[in-house]
Structure formats: structure tokens, C-alpha cells
Amino acid sequence: MRRWGILLVAVALFTVPAVSRAEEQAKKLGVTFDLTYVSKWMSRGVEIWSEDGGFFETITLDLWGTGFKTAVIHRSATGSGNLDRGGNVNRQRLDYMLSYGGAAFDSTPYKATYTVGYMYKNWYDKLANAAGKSMDIEMWFLKYSFPELLGSTGLVPYGITTYDHPAKSDDGFNNNHWDGWVHRFGLGYDLNVFELPSPLHLSSDIAYTAGFRAADHDWSFATFGISSKLKLSENMAFVPAVYQQISMDDSVCDHDVTYCSLSMKYEF
């Protein structure tokens, strides 16, 4: 399965557009290491590990300022007894991601920033069902925002759309109807507080779930968050965040959830 990660990195490296030698000297390969602790892993409204938290370790490559990025993410639960709905061990996962980000309609009120991408999710520590079928998932995603749309208000509309489906035809998720969409629509705002070195980022969004993890097609949850990026040095930052999820559809989550994340990022 890890050959998928090697393949994605190779694709990213060999599909970067040609640039002049002067541009190559000006733009460098960017590398970011990220270690994140989450008190609960909420994946599009779903408690993946029930009451347990988790650690995420991420290596991201920014490919010479071309807009292409590739990343490998390792996720592991803080507890040892995590089970999914089918009773399968579900403690660790490797994600392999390739994405492209850019902007459109620059210098207009309709300026849009976007990231499109693909992720392969490998539950390598997960016992397959009795038939020994694959448990891996593929996800396609689109993230977008309109930073100038609401003018001087400082409010930034944004959205995230994801589509998941089993990676193989003989998957172990068929009975759970894994295929599905989630659409999130929100507003972000950076609040400057004189006593703090960095602004507080406030966010709120509402989600419409369409089949993801066998959920109903309905407005499913709303999330309110507050975070800040605190620079510790030229290359290192600490990012704390707190979130409140208001659950509206029991087929996604049947209770409200408060959770936090703590991230250390190192860039060079």
C-alpha cells in the first residue's frame, strides 16, 4: 500500500511545469513538518475514535511555488481499543495527498482562492472483514474562499466539498454505503486583539451531508471555532484551536461535541 505514497510523490515531481533557471533559483522546495494533537478526531461531523483523541504527524512538500503540494499524514489514536461500526480494529491510518492551489479573478471583488486535491486513505492497522477485503478509501476535495467579496467587513466566505468512495471494487465498506459527499459553507474572520501577537481566527460553518458514511441527505452539523498562529521563531509556530460542533442529524453524530487541537509547525 505504501507504494501509493511513492507513486503520488513521483507524479508530483514529474508533473511540475517547466520554469526558467532564474525562477528555479528564486523558488525553493518548501518542507513543513506538523505534529498535531486532537482531543477528538472529528471527520466531517463523525467521531472517528469515539471518546479518544489522536496524534497526526504530517510532512508536506511545497513544489517550488508551482501551486502543487504533496503530503504524507500518519494518524494514530491515543487509546488502544478503537473499533469501527463493524468491530474492526481502527487505530492507525496513512494518508497520501496531492493537491494544487491557485487564485482566479485577481484584483476584483470576486477574487477566489482554491485548492483541488486527491487523498488515498490506508487503514493499515485495521483488520479487514472475514473475506479479507480492502478497507482503503479515496477522497477528492475542493476548498475555496472569496477574500474580497464582502469588502471591508473582514468576513471571508469559504467552502469545502469532499467526495469519498471505496478504493477497490472488492472493498469492505459496501454494506455501509461509504460513497458520499459532504458540503460545508462558512465564514471566517481575523480578530485583532492588542494583547496578542497574532490575530484570533474565528470561523463558523454549516454542513450538508449526502450519503457519506451511510448518513442521511440532510443539513447535519454546524461548527464554530477559534484559533491563532503564534510564531515561536522564524520557522516554527504553535497553533492552538478550540471547536464546538452542534449536531443536527443523528445519522452523523447524535450529540454536540467540544474538542481542541494543538499543532507545532516547522517550515524550511
The domain ranges of the chain are: 3-267
Q: What is the pTM of this model?
A: 0.84
Cell of 237: 509556530
pLDDT in tens, the chain (268 residues): 444 454 444 444 444 443 444 454 457 899 999 999 999 999 999 998 888 899 999 999 999 999 999 999 999 988 765 544 445 556 788 999 999 999 999 999 999 999 999 999 988 765 554 455 667 889 999 999 999 999 999 999 999 999 998 887 665 555 456 689 999 999 999 999 988 889 999 999 999 999 888 788 899 999 999 999 999 999 999 999 999 999 999 999 999 999 999 999 999 8
Q: What angle do CA 182, 205, 143 make, to 5 degrees?
A: 55
Q: What angle do CA 214, 216, 217 make, to 5 degrees?
A: 120
CATH number belonging to domain 3-267: 2.40.160.40
- CA distances (Å), 11 to each of 74, 96, 141, in order? 20, 12, 18
**DSSP string computed for 23-74:** HHHH---EEEEEEEEESS-EETTEETTTT--EEEEEEEEE-TTSSEEEEEEE
